[in-house]
């Protein structure tokens, strides 16, 4: 394709017409020669540049003002403040090291702490601890009732509104309800601090506070708290506390205006059948009950 290249060069003015004719004497270049020559004569529209510019300026433009938009400092600060707030709040919400567990009425939950200690939360209870600090400081806060099986290790502390419990590695139950605080030791030994007084509990022993007063409780010999087996057991406990517990387990409201709620009750009720539970509480106390929706009324059938 040398000829083609030469023709190209010829049109670019690198090779003269004479040279082309010499090099390819048999070729007739007259058509190309003429075409090249006359194509040069084609007229191009002459533009009056100034006039065209003038005409151009009369156009309307859709200029995108991206460049001119100045940073609105106030708006920027507002947005920045909002962002900081959002990130700050979400940090506390999503990155906080506090683990919180909560149970509602008639609900229990079993959970494991980072050291594999087991906690069973009874109904309507709340437990929280700092996940990050757990390695150095086994401390948690409890509202309500829970049973602990603590893995041996450092001091393990349970803080409640009524008092604190310290152990090294045992099984124990903590119950902290309204006007009621009870710690029961099932294994090892448990140290309970109540109003700066320390009490050491051995297996089978309980520490009970009723209405802000420490009261003695009988020894027990079961291995686990009865509520783990869907049953709540009381030993010489006032009726109002039993009613509290019934309300928590069955999501009912109990009215006992006509009844002496300071009567002591010993016994248990099941968590699985409301009628049986109500009967097992009322019958020993010579009481009866009426169910109206989720309200239950206790009354003394002898006085009626």
By CB under 8 A, name the binding residues for another protein.
4, 7-8, 11-13, 31-47, 49-50, 52-53, 55-56, 59, 61-64, 66-67
Q: How far is the CB of 27 from another protein (least distance, A)?
A: 10
Q: How far is the CB of 94 from another protein (least distance, A)?
A: 40
Q: Which of 263, 269, 295, 292 is nearest to 281 (CA)?
A: 269
Q: How far is the CB of 44 from another protein (least distance, A)?
A: 5
Q: Which is nearer to another protein, 42 or 75 (CB)?
A: 42
Q: How far is the CB of 76 from another protein (least distance, A)?
A: 21
Q: Which of 224, 236, 210, 251 is nearest to 123 (CA)?
A: 251
Q: How far is the CB of 51 from another protein (least distance, A)?
A: 10
Q: Which is nearer to another protein, 64 or 304 (CB)?
A: 64
Q: Which is nearer to another protein, 67 or 304 (CB)?
A: 67
How far from 97 is each of 92, 133, 139, 154, 217, CA to CA, in Å? 9, 8, 13, 20, 38
**In which element (H, E) is residue 78 found?**
helix 73-94
Q: Which is nearer to another protein, 56 or 92 (CB)?
A: 56
Q: Which is nearer to another protein, 55 or 273 (CB)?
A: 55
Indicate the length of the chain as a whole number.
304
Q: Which is nearer to another protein, 63 or 304 (CB)?
A: 63
Q: How far is the CB of 64 from another protein (least distance, A)?
A: 6
- The answer to whether 218 and 259 have CB atoms below 8 angstroms apart is no
Tell the burial category of 190 from Cβ atoms under 10 Å away from its Cβ (0-12, 13-18, 19+). Answer: buried
Rounded CA gap, 287 and 275, in Å?
14
Q: Where are the beta strands (DSSP E) in 197-278?
A: 197-201, 206-210, 213-215, 231-238, 253-255, 264-270
- The answer to whether 203 and 183 have CB atoms below 8 angstroms apart is no
Q: How far is the CB of 99 from another protein (least distance, A)?
A: 53
Crossing angle of helices 274-282 and 239-250, rounded to 10°? 180
- The answer to whether 101 and 128 have CB atoms below 8 angstroms apart is yes
Q: Which is nearer to another protein, 29 or 299 (CB)?
A: 29
């Amino acid at each position: 394709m040398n000829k083609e290249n030469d023709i190209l060069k010829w049109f670019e003015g690198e090779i003269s017409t004479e040279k082309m004719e010499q090099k390819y004497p048999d070729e007739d270049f007259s058509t190309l020669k003429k075409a090249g020559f006359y194509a040069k004569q084609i007229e191009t529209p002459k533009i009056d540049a100034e006039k065209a510019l003038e005409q151009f300026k009369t156009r309307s433009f859709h200029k995108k003002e991206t460049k001119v938009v100045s940073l609105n400092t106030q708006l920027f600060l507002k947005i920045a403040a909002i962002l900081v707030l959002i990130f700050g709040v979400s940090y506390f919400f999503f990155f906080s090291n506090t683990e919180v567990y909560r149970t509602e009425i008639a609900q229990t939950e079993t959970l494991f702490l980072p050291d594999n200690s087991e906690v069973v939360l009874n109904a309507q209870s709340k437990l929280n601890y700092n996940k990050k600090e757990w390695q150095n400081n086994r401390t948690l806060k409890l509202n309500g009732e829970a049973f602990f099986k603590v893995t041996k290790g450092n001091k393990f502390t349970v803080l409640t509104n009524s008092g604190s419990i310290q152990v090294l590695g045992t099984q124990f139950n903590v119950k902290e309800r309204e006007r009621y605080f009870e710690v029961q030791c099932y294994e090892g030994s448990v140290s309970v601090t109540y109003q700066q007084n320390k009490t050491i509990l051995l297996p089978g022993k309980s520490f009970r506070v009723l209405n802000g007063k420490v009261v003695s409780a009988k020894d027990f010999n079961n291995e686990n708290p009865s509520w783990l087996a869907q049953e709540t057991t009381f030993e010489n406990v006032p009726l109002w506390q039993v009613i509290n517990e019934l309300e928590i387990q069955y999501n009912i409201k109990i009215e006992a205006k006509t009844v002496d709620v300071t009567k002591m009750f010993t016994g248990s009720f099941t968590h699985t059948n409301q009628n049986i539970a109500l009967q097992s509480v009322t019958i020993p106390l010579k009481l009866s009950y009426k169910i109206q929706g989720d309200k239950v009324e206790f009354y003394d059938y002898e006085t009626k």
